[in-house]
Amino acid sequence: MLWLASFIHDADVPEERILAAIDGVIESVQNDAVDMETLERAQVKWRSSFYNDVSATFGFGRADLLASLALFDDNPDRINEFEAEIAKVTPELIQKTAQEYLRSSNRTILVLEAGAGDDDPEVAAND
């Protein structure tokens, strides 16, 4: 499983500050179960995003998802189970998942700095 997050911030904000903020949120989810209101809001957002994705580009999103389910799960009918599976998510499951997978030893951090390669002679030689 791969989870990806990206953050864009002002140049005067150090990366360490961003990472500390992220770690603080992760730590709070690991230590305290999210409240039901937050979970319900997340489920509504997921549902909205899911139906937007499957109806995208004149139904191509649905075709793409069905093909992926057929290829990787050998079960394209699983598309009809997603909403019920999301409804099974509990605050305790989120907390347990965060404790298991959202560990600093399980992550890779990539920092891209605008203009950082401008002074690199190798980059300049390829321009």
Query: How confident is the model over 95-122, as pLDDT tens digits?
Result: 999 999 999 888 898 888 887 777 666 6
Average pLDDT of span 39-55: 93
pLDDT tens, residue by residue, 68-91: 999 999 999 999 999 999 999 999
Q: In this structure, is residue 122 part of a structural domain?
A: no
Q: Which DSSP string corresponds to 37-80?
A: HHHHHHHHHHHHHHHHHHTHHHHHHHHHHHHHIIIIIS-GGGGG
Distance CA 103, CA 30 (A): 10
Task: Write down the pTM of the prediction.
Answer: 0.72
Note whether residue 90 is domain-resident: yes
Domain that holds residue 90: 35-109
Count of domains forming the chain: 1
